[in-house]
Amino acid sequence: MGTPPAREEHDGKDRFTEKVEEKESRKLRARRKGKHEVWFGLGMFGLIGWAVAIPTILGIVIGIWIDSRWPGRFSWTLMFLVFGVIIGCLNAWFWVSREREEIEKEQRDEEET
């Protein structure tokens, strides 16, 4: 008909203990990482910015050079600008997905221990 009250109380204490242990381990991990996370985040923003900016600037420079040598009906500068932005966005996506995978792997490893 159900578990005896003593058994239910014991299960409740076990769940409570597990939740407290999980919260404690999260807090300890956060203390260990500390300010590293803030600098890591700022560094990642910088990395993504440069990952987009450099291909874009290179595209503009190449486009200007082509336009100055062989002027034509279409603007090579504009075409290479768009091409540089696309390459830069793909580059940034690569870095973000790679970092996400590393963070997820780290979390899985911590959960296993």
The average confidence (pLDDT) of the chain is 80
Cα distance between residue 29 and residue 17, in whole Å: 18
Kindly tell me the number of DSSP H helices and DSSP E strands found in the chain: 3, 0
Cα distance between residue 48 and residue 24, in whole Å: 33
pLDDT digits (tens, 9 = 90+) for 69-107: 998 898 999 999 999 999 999 999 998 888 888 878 877
pTM > 0.75: yes or no: no
